[in-house]
Amino acid sequence: MTIADSFQPVGAPFDEVYSLYRRSRDEEPVFYSKDLQCWVVTRYDDIMDLLRDPVFTNEGTLSGFNYEPETEAILSSGINWNATSHINGVEGAEHQRFKKVLVPILSPVRLRAQEPTVRAIAAELIEAFKDRGHCEFMKEFAYLLPILTMFQFIGFNKQEDDLEQLAKWSGSTFAMWLTPMEPAEQKACALQAVAYQRYIRDKLNERRRNPRDDLMTEMVLAMDRGEIDLSEDELVLMYIFTFIGAGHETTMAQLGNTFYQLLLERGRWQALLDDPHMVDDVVEETIRYDGSVVAWYRRVAEDTEFRGFTMKKGEFVVMMFGSGNHDECKFDTPETYCPVRSNRERPLTFSRGRHFCLGAPLARLEVRVALEEFAARLPGVRLAPGQSIDMAPSVATRAIERLELQW
Ligand code: HEM
């Protein structure tokens, strides 16, 4: 069977996925997958060429499902998200317009300054289950650390805002994009998605009336003064999709993969306990070895030739970042987990080029702080025996659904 016929990485175990990627790199590094209904590209250098070429565009890569009429009616009482631009779905001058707003806000200096906040949240989460002797890491830690960090970054706080409710609304909004649902569930999620938008709009209005020292105030006032070129709908969706959305599931999954890989073989965790200075290398290696974003899409803007294949306008191409991260042409012994590497080529997990992830410094910081806080507070942590590791059914991410830990 050819690779094109057998390529089914979704939800498969780690070894299976990565040996499939390797077979593809060796035998068919570019192919059309009928199952995924798109072109698949698996070699590091080919992916880099794609990322550099504007014929492979982000325009039209992200849209929700087709919804039932009742759901559409609910959604139309809120912001039409398919007709509202956001940074990852635009190119050229439109992309620059969003970057001009976001680059200073998500600057590495500003993101790294979040360290005390991230550390306080991580510590509080661990203390809540520490005496119990066990936890379900994804739900009790990995889900909460990135979303609570981002809420604080924006200007929400637990004294005034129901953070649990906000997290639920965020989950429902993303489910509308990512998870096929029955009509009743779709309707319920649409109601929550619209309530979420209203809440954020109300908060922006409140900041107009009573300015504070927070990001919401800074942005809404700059918008009103014409200093940032955004509509109010774009600003509301920027909170939902760019600040909270882009960094939540991705970082949550990366935390899960990192802890799983480190605890899978006790020596990896012990090495970190013995030499805490290696933490940055550990973070970098798990982002390469078991990255949370293993694939990302582009659309073909006009008919083009790529490595001898004709790709037609409108077709989708999926760049297999996970495969590129294990490409033997870039990394020595790529299938070995090895934090100290002589050839530290940058992994593709955060993408490269014009759409490179603006939140990468924050994601790295969150993973590092999580490791440091667990190492300090629960050095004896280990995987609970006998559990099966199930992956969420997604092409773009490798995300563990449940991870039981003990100490
Ligand atoms: C481990 C965690 C994360 C991973 C693996 C990740 C990965 C990615 C990927 C693959 C893209 C798409 C790039 C493309 O289209 O080529 C992206 C874009 C983006 N990410 Fe992240 N991300 C993570 C966390 C974050 C966080 C915490 C934030 C904070 C807000 C964030 C903000 C963004 C933004 C704003 C973009 C759009 C950049 C653009 O289109 O110009 N990400 N990220």
Å from CA of 274 to ligand 1 middle = 32
Å from CA of 89 to ligand 1 middle = 12
Q: Which amino acid is at 30?
A: V
20 CB contacts (<8 Å, ≥6 apart)? 3, 6, 7, 8, 9, 12
Å from CA of 296 to ligand 1 middle = 11
Å from CA of 350 to ligand 1 middle = 6
pLDDT tens-digit series, residues 63-81: 666 788 899 899 889 998 7
Which residue carries 């520490």 as its tokens? 130
Cβ < 6 Å from ligand 1: which residues?
58, 87-88, 102, 106, 242-243, 246-247, 250-251, 254, 292-293, 296, 349-351, 355, 357-359, 362-363
State pTM to two decimals. 0.95
Mean pLDDT across the chain:
93
Q: What pLDDT was estimated at residue 65?
A: 64
User: What fold, for 3-406?
Assistant: Cytochrome p450 (1.10.630)
Å from CA of 173 to ligand 1 middle = 18
Least confident of 250-259, 344-353, 370-379: 344-353
Nearest Cα residue to atom 32 of ligand 1: 359
Q: Which of 348, 349, 357 to mutate to test the pocket of ligand 1 (most atoms within 8 A of CB)?
A: 357
Look at residue 312 and tell me whether its pLDDT is greater than 70: yes
pLDDT tens-digit series, residues 197-250: 999 999 999 999 999 999 999 999 999 999 999 999 999 999 998 998 888 889
Nearest Cα residue to atom 25 of ligand 1: 247
Cβ pair 79, 236 in contact under 8 A: yes
d(CA 130, CA 374): 10
pLDDT tens-digit series, residues 319-350: 999 999 999 999 999 999 998 877 667 899 99
d(CA 239, CA 331): 37
Confidence of residue 307 (pLDDT cuts 50, 70, 90): very high
| Position with higher pLDDT, 304 vs 157 | 304
Å from CA of 249 to ligand 1 middle = 11
Q: What pLDDT was estimated at residue 183?
A: 85
Å from CA of 266 to ligand 1 middle = 31
Nearest Cα residue to atom 1 of ligand 1: 251
d(CA 20, CA 362): 31
Closest ligand 1 atom to residue 292 Cα is 5
pLDDT tens-digit series, residues 188-209: 999 999 999 999 999 999 999 9
Task: Count other C-beta atoms under 10 Å from residue 274's C-beta.
Answer: 8
Å from CA of 401 to ligand 1 middle = 21
Closest ligand 1 atom to residue 353 Cα is 16
Confidence of residue 174 (pLDDT cuts 50, 70, 90): confident
Look at residue 317 and tell me whether its pLDDT is greater than 80: yes
φ/ψ (deg, to 5) at 56: -95, 105
| Position with higher pLDDT, 181 vs 133 | 133
d(CA 60, CA 258): 32
* Mean pLDDT, residues 47-74 taken together: 87
Nearest Cα residue to atom 18 of ligand 1: 357
Look at residue 60 and tell me whether its pLDDT is greater than 90: no
**What is the percentage of the chain residues whose pLDDT exceeds 90?**
77
Residue-wise DSSP of 113-166? TTHHHHHHHHHHHHHHHHTTTEEEHIIIIITHHHHHHHHHHHT--TTTS-HHHH
Look at residue 176 and tell me whether its pLDDT is greater than 90: no
Confidence of residue 167 (pLDDT cuts 50, 70, 90): confident
Q: What pLDDT was estimated at residue 68?
A: 85
Beta strands in 284-349 (DSSP E): 296-300, 304-306, 309-311, 316-319
Residue 93's SS3 state is: helix
